[in-house]
Amino acid sequence: MTRRELFEHRQKRRSIMIAATSTILVLVAVIVFVPMTPGWEKVQKSFFNGAVLAKTFPRLIEAFKLNIMIFLWSAPLIAILGLLVALARDAKSPALFPLRILSTAFTDVFRGVPVILTVYLIGFGIPGLGLPRPWNSPYIWGSLALILTYSAYVAEIFRAGIDSVHPSQRSAALSLGLSERQVMRDVVLPQAVRNVVPSQMNMLIALQKDVSLLSFIGPVEIFRQAGVFKSLLANFTPYVGAAIIFLVVTIPATRYADYLLARQSRERS
């Protein structure tokens, strides 16, 4: 071993020791001191009740399937609408001027209004028109609210991606005789989309959580289901169960997005 390796080896062992000790100290503090608080027994019974959790968990997972369904049909539509809005905002042709104005207004409005408000307004407003079944379904209009809000954000990310492609790529493509449209489709967009995959992953994770906002207008998804159990059993544990189910999905997804981002910044350097 070189003296550098020897030194680094010692350093590494030292930092592992310190990290382990401090972690153990924190754990001991939590395990020992939290149960000593006066309300702990009550909290444990109403939030971390094993019996309640076991009883409600299967139904919560059942309800979570609805979250996944709503997510699955919303996400592709968001991607498509977001991309169209991004392209419309940068449209150069004067004939498309109204489209440009419209798409700018679209992103301004839906990024400027809280998601829950959009869900309320669209989710209650449009069925209020007295449309026949199935067009009065809160699933449709709730999903639409999510699609509109998220498309506005996703469009802005796509636009940033388009801007991130170096202008020399456009020059090179134009110099070959390609049209503006072909340059966008074949050269700029593929690179732009690839550049923003990590950011869009984060949007997907946020969407996955915001699906729960639809519970306010009717659909019995996991949050609503947990609320039903709470009232039924006078116990908050179902909410903790719901949180666990969310984390099982979102933590791997977040890690994956971080990994993509790290890989991308490595490639750029």
Partner 1 sequence: MAKLELRNVVKRFGDVVVCNGINLDVEEGQMVCLIGASGAGKSTLLRCINLLEPTEDGGIFLDGTDIAVPGLDPQAARKKIGMVFQNFNLFPHMTALENAMLAPRRVYKKSRSELETDVASLFTRFGLADRMQNYPDQLSGGQQQRVAIIRALAMRPDVMLFDEITSALDPQLVGEVLDVLLQLKQQGMTMVLATHEMQFARQAADKICFLKDGQIIEEGPPEQLFNAPKHVATKEFLSRALK
> Which residues of this protein are in contact with partner 1, per CB under 8 A?
168-169, 171-179, 182, 186-187, 190-191, 194
Least CB distance to partner 1 at residue 185 (A)? 9
Tell me whether residue 184 or residue 245 sits nearer to partner 1 (CB atom): 184
Torsion of CA 165, 171, 173, 179, to 10 degrees: 100
Least CB distance to partner 1 at residue 91 (A)? 19
Least CB distance to partner 1 at residue 156 (A)? 23
Least CB distance to partner 1 at residue 106 (A)? 29
Tell me whether residue 65 or residue 166 sits nearer to partner 1 (CB atom): 166
Q: How far apart, in whole angstroms, are the C-alpha atoms of residue 195 and residue 188?
A: 11
Tell me whether residue 91 or residue 178 sits nearer to partner 1 (CB atom): 178
Tell me whether residue 134 or residue 177 sits nearer to partner 1 (CB atom): 177
Least CB distance to partner 1 at residue 95 (A)? 17
Least CB distance to partner 1 at residue 176 (A)? 4
Nearest to 86 by CA among 74, 100, 97: 100
CB neighbour list of residue 170: distance below 8 Å, 6 or more residues apart: 183, 187, 188
Q: How far apart, in whole angstroms, are the C-alpha atoms of residue 92 and residue 90?
A: 6
* CA distances in angstroms from 203 to 82, 90, 140, 151, 171, listed in the order given: 12, 22, 21, 10, 32
* CA distances in angstroms from 105 to 98, 110, 152, listed in the order given: 11, 9, 10
Q: Which amino acid is at 87?
A: L
Q: Are 222 and 242 in contact (CB under 8 A)?
A: yes
CB neighbour list of residue 229: distance below 8 Å, 6 or more residues apart: 52, 56, 59, 60, 235, 238
Tell me whether residue 12 or residue 185 sits nearer to partner 1 (CB atom): 185
Least CB distance to partner 1 at residue 163 (A)? 17
Tell me whether residue 123 or residue 198 sits nearer to partner 1 (CB atom): 198
Tell me whether residue 122 or residue 187 sits nearer to partner 1 (CB atom): 187
